[in-house]
């Protein structure tokens, strides 16, 4: 399975597992745990979660799924903006660690920008790193202007990723944010690479999938992963769909495929406001 380099040279899987909407219903807990285990068995060892997801419920699902295999998993979690102060981020991180029953979060992100100054959040993240509670930190839902501001904050250049919405139907980041992050050697983590399912009804995806023996979802994920610095984190609570999605890692879209998708889902022709779910 292909990997992506973080700024410090550490490699992570280019295809991971999302957990948005997990941990919201107790009746789904075992199914969600099994879906994550199925993904890890297939090499999708990067798991993305957040304190917001199920108000901590998704982190508890992750905690159950990774028992006995923590050393082989790269855990990403996120802090609410209103918890991203000097003291608040540290307390929130400790709660996340407790829910997942781990000692360290591999990558800790600011979920989106709120009222707390970036400098204060970075200071808290750097303290968490020094205490061994996180190994890397990054951001989520920051646009190009926000990223420029972050780089001018003390220790702001330690940012390891920016997690943003990116899929065939939402290509706005290709105008500036995606190339800017590539130039700075900051990987982009694409959430909702399936566009919450809406884009999968486009016949072109089925046509390309039939050509390669893959599902439309795998085609959509492979398209996102065509960039060497992009990590895709599709979410599914169904183990079989996770297995189908895993095929995206080895799916090579050719020039004909890319041209067809370019025609159906055109790139941006100018700057746009960063799309957020």
| Catalytic annotation, residues | 53
How many Å apart are CA 94 and CA 106, to the nearest integer?
13
The candidate with the shortest Cα–Cα distance to 234, out of 7, 44, 104, is: 44
Dihedral angle sign, alpha carbons of residues 256, 257, 258, 260: positive
Beta bridge pairs of residue 107: 76, 136
What letter would DSSP give residue 152? Answer: T
Q: Could you count the other beta carbons within 10 Å of the beta carbon of residue 250?
A: 13
Residue with tokens 């996120």: 78
CB 58 within 8 A of CB 49: yes
Beta bridge pairs of residue 136: 107
Beta bridge pairs of residue 17: 47
CB 86 within 8 A of CB 120: yes
Q: Could you count the other beta carbons within 10 Å of the beta carbon of residue 254?
A: 10
How many Å apart are CA 181 and CA 200, to the nearest integer?
27
């Amino acid at each position: 399975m292909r990997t992506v380099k973080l700024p410090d040279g550490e490699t992570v899987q280019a295809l991971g597992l999302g957990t948005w909407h997990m941990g919201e219903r107790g009746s789904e807990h075992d199914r969600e745990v099994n879906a994550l285990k199925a993904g890890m068995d297939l090499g999708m060892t990067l798991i993305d979660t957040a304190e917001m997801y199920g108000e901590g419920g998704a982190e508890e699902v992750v905690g159950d799924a990774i028992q006995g295999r923590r050393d082989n998993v790269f855990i990403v979690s996120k802090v609410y903006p209103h918890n991203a102060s000097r003291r608040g981020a540290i307390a929130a991180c400790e709660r996340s660690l407790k829910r997942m029953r781990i000692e360290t979060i591999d990558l800790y992100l600011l979920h989106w920008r709120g009222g707390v100054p970036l400098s204060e959040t970075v200071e808290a993240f750097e303290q968490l790193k020094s205490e061994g509670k996180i190994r890397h930190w990054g951001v989520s839902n920051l646009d190009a202007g926000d990223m420029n501001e972050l780089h001018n904050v003390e220790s702001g250049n330690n940012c390891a990723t920016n997690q943003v919405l990116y899929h065939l139907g939402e290509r706005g980041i290709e105008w500036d944010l995606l190339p800017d992050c590539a130039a700075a050697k900051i990987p982009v983590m694409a959430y909702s690479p399936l566009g919450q399912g809406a884009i999968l009804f486009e016949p072109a995806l089925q046509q390309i999938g039939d050509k390669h023996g893959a599902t439309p979802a795998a085609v959509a994920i492979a398209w996102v992963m065509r960039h060497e610095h992009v990590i895709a984190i599709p979410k599914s609570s169904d183990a079989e769909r996770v297995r189908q999605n895993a095929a995206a890692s080895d799916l090579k879209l050719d020039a004909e495929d890319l041209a067809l998708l370019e025609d159906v889902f055109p790139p941006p022709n100018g700057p746009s406001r960063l799309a957020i779910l």
